[in-house]
Chains A and B, each alone.
Chain A
């Protein structure tokens, strides 16, 4: 399907495709196995200016927005969902600074993030605060010119590898959700350490880790926005980043589909390629249609954001939920098409199925997405 990309968008997509095919696909299996952080791949993305595409030009970026970011994430995910998420998670950690940072904060952090010299991460989730984000227990207590952070974040993507963290902590517990604030915390700040690195089902190239704050003292200048804005910042950040997760899902689905299609044409059974059997043909047709529908939804949503359309919570939830469900379905079918080979680790396809699963879970589970959609529908009815 032709999405009428501009020359610039096409250029970005082609470059990301090239990087994915030449630099990422060949190492995808290795990182999946070793769970090392893919610094080599991050360096390539940095050198190609891809970390800067969504950062304003005055801070060393390309001044483009969410849609190009989605194009890149999709192309990278076609080759490796794990490496793609390292990239996308840095964008997630950068958005709050772009959206709510003051001039000093932007000047201090964005140029390095745009150049890929440092990676960013966003830290909200805690052991007891997953979908219920208002239950976070990490606290930030103001003392003179500093805030003192205490608490534990977990399942933090890019944890341990990123150098710039945006951390959500309670500045006033009595106010519930309205008592949360967002802080920029740099790696190597005394009192800030890393806990266990998770052993994951999929996206194993990415690092998922605990962040531990023990009387971690940060200058008050590192507060993003104002005290109490923590949840607004979170929501607005997720509104921007959800199409990225959705694009990741589309890319994973597309990558798996291409392998399945190629295999179906090549694999002979009963003296015919299995692609000549209707059972396989219908599976392929359904897979391709679902991917295209998901892509259309994701692109439309990303373009809405870039064109300043407000209230995109519902649309971005729809894109994330639909695309990730498609990714799970398509990758499962792709494994099925490869049959016994598909189940083996020697073939690249089972990895796609493992990588796909997380897209239904993180940045708001698909159940939470449905809540958001339903809530918006009801609100709209009430108008």
Chain B
């Protein structure tokens, strides 16, 4: 079985600060990490490899420094890594990103299962995973919280919904996006880190992928960002004091009108 895990390198969101003078994001010194949801996808890939025997490949699209993210995935036990990197892909929205990733996956060929995190912590769109399966025209299951089994080329999973979950069976190949509940990602091992440090990472540029220029990068992206701004900070509130009974009374008065 061949498993492909798609990941994204994101800024560690907790560290994203806004410069109050210029009203811009301060990205300097912000550490890059693997998107937290993608860690669950990586872990699930490694677990499938351990349980069923599989060859695992991690891919990402991003600037050259995204290689770090790939090496981290290798240190957790993924077998191979591919970096898709080209200025031609800069400015891609979710449509163009999923187009590019889908075509890279086609180039890898012979895949059975694609795993993605539910969404990325910088963009929070949750659109790239389903976008990839749509481009590849394979079945998808989003928000997967458990893989029950993989047997006879059929995968059976639990998909988290608002009021419970759906049990879904899909033939392979298919694409899953996973939520936190699915597992607890392992930390890398020292031996894995040493192996990852020496591993060769395949880099694919537009030269290798040769994609339709109308579908990549800024010009292949239907959406455009026209404005970025800081939301008005929540006004610091009012502190209620007194003994518990008094406080409860005050709060009741304040909330009364909101409670039907």
When A and B assemble into the complex, do they touch directly, with CB atoms less than 8 Å apart?
A: yes
A residues whose Cβ falls under 8 Å from a Cβ of B: 7-8, 11-12, 15, 18-19, 22-23, 44, 47-50, 52-53, 62
B222 in the interface (beta carbon within 8 A) = no
Residues of B within 8 A of A7 (CB): 197
Q: What CA separation (Å) do A15 and B188 show in the bound complex?
A: 8
Q: What CA separation (Å) do A12 and B188 show in the bound complex?
A: 11
**Is A44 touching B189 in the complex (CB atoms < 8 A)?**
no
**Is A19 touching B187 in the complex (CB atoms < 8 A)?**
yes
**Is B187 touching A23 in the complex (CB atoms < 8 A)?**
yes
Q: Across the two chains, which residue of chain A brings its CB closest to B191?
A: A49
Q: Across the two chains, which residue of chain A brings its CB closest to B185?
A: A22
**Is A15 touching B186 in the complex (CB atoms < 8 A)?**
no
Question: Number of B residues whose C-beta is below 8 Å from A?
Answer: 9
**Is B187 touching A18 in the complex (CB atoms < 8 A)?**
yes
Q: Quick one: CB contact mask for B173-191 with A, threshold 8 Å, 1 for yes?
A: 0000000000000111111
Residues of A within 8 A of B189 (CB): 47-49
17 A-B Cβ contacts within 8 A?
Answer: A11-B193, A11-B194, A11-B197, A15-B187, A15-B190, A18-B187, A23-B187, A44-B187, A47-B189, A48-B187, A48-B188, A48-B189, A49-B189, A49-B191, A50-B190, A52-B190, A62-B190
Residues of B within 8 A of A18 (CB): 187
Minimum-distance CB pairs A-B, first 3: A49-B190, A49-B189, A48-B189
Q: What CA separation (Å) do A19 and B193 show in the bound complex?
A: 14
- Chain A: minimal CB distance from B198 (Å): 11
Q: What CA separation (Å) do A44 and B193 show in the bound complex?
A: 15
B residues whose Cβ falls under 8 Å from a Cβ of A: 186-191, 193-194, 197
Q: What CA separation (Å) do A170 and B187 show in the bound complex?
A: 44
- Chain B: minimal CB distance from A208 (Å): 28
Residues of B within 8 A of A47 (CB): 186-187, 189
Residues of B within 8 A of A8 (CB): 194
Q: What CA separation (Å) do A15 and B192 show in the bound complex?
A: 11
Please count the residue pairs between chain A and chain B whose beta carbons lie under 8 angstroms apart in the complex. Answer: 31
- Chain B: minimal CB distance from A361 (Å): 32
Which secondary structure dominates chain A's binding surface?
Answer: helix
Residues of A within 8 A of B187 (CB): 15, 18-19, 22-23, 44, 47-48
- Chain A: minimal CB distance from B43 (Å): 12
Besides the known contacts A15-B190, A47-B187, 11 further A-B residue pairs in the complex with CB atoms under 8 A apart: A8-B194, A11-B194, A11-B197, A12-B190, A18-B187, A22-B187, A44-B187, A47-B186, A47-B189, A49-B191, A52-B190
- Chain B: minimal CB distance from A159 (Å): 28
Q: What CA separation (Å) do A49 and B193 show in the bound complex?
A: 10
Q: Across the two chains, which residue of chain A brings its CB closest to B186?
A: A47
Residues of B within 8 A of A62 (CB): 190-191
Interface centre among A15, A22, A53 (most CB of B within 10 A): A15
**Is A53 touching B190 in the complex (CB atoms < 8 A)?**
yes
Interface centre among B187, B190, B193 (most CB of A within 10 A): B190
Q: Across the two chains, which residue of chain A brings its CB closest to B193?
A: A11
Residues of A within 8 A of B197 (CB): 7, 11
Interface centre among A12, A49, A53 (most CB of B within 10 A): A49
Q: What CA separation (Å) do A11 and B187 show in the bound complex?
A: 13
Q: What CA separation (Å) do A27 and B180 show in the bound complex?
A: 19
Residues of B within 8 A of A15 (CB): 187-188, 190, 193
- Chain B: minimal CB distance from A48 (Å): 5
**Is A11 touching B190 in the complex (CB atoms < 8 A)?**
yes
Residues of A within 8 A of B186 (CB): 47
- Chain A: minimal CB distance from B182 (Å): 18
Q: What CA separation (Å) do A50 and B188 show in the bound complex?
A: 11
- Chain A: minimal CB distance from B127 (Å): 29
Q: What CA separation (Å) do A49 and B187 show in the bound complex?
A: 11
Residues of A within 8 A of B193 (CB): 11, 15
Residues of A within 8 A of B190 (CB): 11-12, 15, 48-50, 52-53, 62
Residues of B within 8 A of A23 (CB): 187
- Chain B: minimal CB distance from A241 (Å): 21
Interface centre among A11, A23, A44 (most CB of B within 10 A): A11
Q: What CA separation (Å) do A47 and B188 show in the bound complex?
A: 8
Residues of B within 8 A of A48 (CB): 187-190
Residues of B within 8 A of A53 (CB): 190
Residues of A within 8 A of B191 (CB): 49, 62
Q: Across the two chains, which residue of chain B brings its CB closest to A44?
A: B187
- Chain A: minimal CB distance from B183 (Å): 14
Q: What CA separation (Å) do A62 and B189 show in the bound complex?
A: 11
Q: What CA separation (Å) do A23 and B187 show in the bound complex?
A: 9
Q: What CA separation (Å) do A301 and B190 show in the bound complex?
A: 24
Q: Across the two chains, which residue of chain B brings its CB closest to A50?
A: B190
Q: Across the two chains, which residue of chain B brings its CB closest to A52?
A: B190
Residues of B within 8 A of A12 (CB): 190
Q: What CA separation (Å) do A8 and B193 show in the bound complex?
A: 10
- Chain B: minimal CB distance from A187 (Å): 26
- Chain A: minimal CB distance from B180 (Å): 14
Q: What CA separation (Å) do A132 and B188 show in the bound complex?
A: 43
Q: Across the two chains, which residue of chain B brings its CB closest to A14?
A: B193
Q: What CA separation (Å) do A52 and B189 show in the bound complex?
A: 11
- Chain B: minimal CB distance from A50 (Å): 7
Q: What CA separation (Å) do A22 and B197 show in the bound complex?
A: 22
Q: What CA separation (Å) do A44 and B187 show in the bound complex?
A: 8
Q: What CA separation (Å) do A244 and B190 show in the bound complex?
A: 20
Q: What CA separation (Å) do A351 and B252 show in the bound complex?
A: 39
- Chain A: minimal CB distance from B185 (Å): 10
Q: What CA separation (Å) do A53 and B186 show in the bound complex?
A: 19
Q: What CA separation (Å) do A53 and B193 show in the bound complex?
A: 13
Residues of B within 8 A of A50 (CB): 190
Residues of B within 8 A of A22 (CB): 187
